[in-house]
Amino acid sequence: MPLAAIIKRIAAAAALALVLAPHGASAQDKNKIKVGISVGSAEAIFEVVKKVAARDGLEIQTVVFSDYLQPNAALASGDLDANAFQHRPYLESQIAARGYKIVPVGLTITAPLGIYSRKFKSVDQLPNGAQVGIQNDPSNGNRALLLLQKAGLIKLKPGVGENGVNATPLDIIDNPRKLKLIELDAAQLPRSLDDLAAASINNDYAYKAGLSLQKDTIAVEDPRGRYANIIATRAEDKDKPWAKKLVQAYQSEEVRKFIETEFKGSLVPAF
C-alpha cells in the first residue's frame, strides 16, 4: 500500500477515536473536574470540599472568579464542569436572559437575611407605627419585603416578590400595624439600628457590626429557601457520577462543621 494511503488511514482512525472517546464533561467516569467559585469565603470552603472529594476518588480544580457573569458563561461553554456561586433566582434570571441550559444539583450555603432589633425580642412586640429599615436596592429590598410578609407584618400584591418580579413598598396591600418602612443603603442599616424599631440587614453587614443571627433577630429567611446558594451543572451532566460525588463532598458533615465553626453564623449550611 502506498505510504500516502497508509498515512490517510491512520489519520482517519485517529479522528474516529477522538469522536468516540469520552471527553470533557460528557465522560461518565470523569475523576477530575473544574468548578467555578467566587473569590472569598468559597475559596476556604472548597479547600475542605476538595479533601473530602479526593477520598471518594474525585479531584476538584477550582477556578476563582471576581464577578457574577463569567461563571455561568464558562460553564455553558464547557470550560467548567460545575459552578458554586449563585442562588436560584440569579440562575433563573441568567437562563431567561441568555438561554443557558444550566440546572441546580445541590444546595451549599446561605447568607440569611434577618430582621434585627435592639429593642424587641419578637415581631409580636413591634408597636403600631414602628419604623422598620429595609434595603433601598431592588434585590435586597425585595428580600426584606418577602421576609416581612413571611413574619405576618405586611401583605404584598399577588404575583410580586417572586419569579423575577421584585416587590417595592408600593406593592404592599395590607399593613395592619401601619409600619413605616425606611429605605436605606444596605451598609447603613446596622448603623441606623439604634434609631429604628427593627431593620432588615444582610448577614455580612450584620456580622461585621457584631450582630448575631441567632440572638439579635426577630425574623430570619429560611436557610433552604430560594436564596440558598447552589451547585450548578449543565443539564446534560446533572446525573453524572462525578456531579453526585461533588454534591456529596460539599454536603458532608466535615464541610458543615467547617462552615459553622469558621463563619460563626455569617454563613449557614443550606443542606
Domains and CATH numbers, the chain: 25-111+226-269 (3.40.190.10), 114-220 (3.40.190.10)
pLDDT in tens, 198-225: 999 988 789 889 998 889 999 999 887 8
pLDDT tens track for 75-100: 999 999 999 999 998 898 899 899 99
d(CA 186, CA 197): 16
First to last CA, the chain: 64
* Total-model pTM: 0.73
Cell 429560611, residue located: 222
Between 265 and 44, the more confident residue is 44
Mean pLDDT, the chain, integer: 89
Helix H or strand E encompassing 143: helix 138-150
The residue assigned the cell 460545575 is 82
Q: Give residue-wise pLDDT tens across range 113-167.
A: 999 999 999 999 999 999 999 999 888 899 999 999 999 999 999 989 877 688 9
d(C-alpha 198, C-alpha 121), whole Å: 10
For residue 64, pLDDT beyond 70: yes
Position 48 scores a pLDDT of: 98
Q: What is the mean pLDDT of residues 10-24?
A: 42
Residues recorded for the chain: 271
